[in-house]
Amino acid sequence: MMNKTPLFAKTNRGIGGSAPSKYSQKIIMDNRVTEKNLNNYLETHLISVEDFKNDNFEEYFIKRAKSLLKLISDAMDKPISNLDGEDVVKAFGKALI
């Protein structure tokens, strides 16, 4: 599973190994971005702001995977198969349908 979002090098160094609930507040407190703009940035990357800020990693990954798969499906104008397959359930802990 991959979770990548482009960041400025300074932002990436600043967040280190911290949880999103911690580094998102640090970014805001350092006046790098307003909370409203941060939330907008997250949403444009198909990230659930609530799950991100509450360190709810399981739901964060599942919701983002579903959103990305829907984007791909819509772009191809056809459904993606096997979203409830054994390999998907093994990787995500549940089906992605």
- Sign of torsion, CA 74 60 29 15? negative
CA distances from 92 to 25, 34, 78 (A): 28, 32, 22
Please write the tens of the pLDDT for every residue from 6-33: 777 877 777 778 898 998 888 888 887 8
Please tell me the distance from the alpha carbon of residue 34 to that of residue 37, in angstroms, as a whole number.
Answer: 5
Burial of 54 (0-12, 13-18, 19+ CB in 10 A): middle
pLDDT, tens only, 53-97: 999 999 998 999 999 999 999 999 999 999 999 999 999 999 999
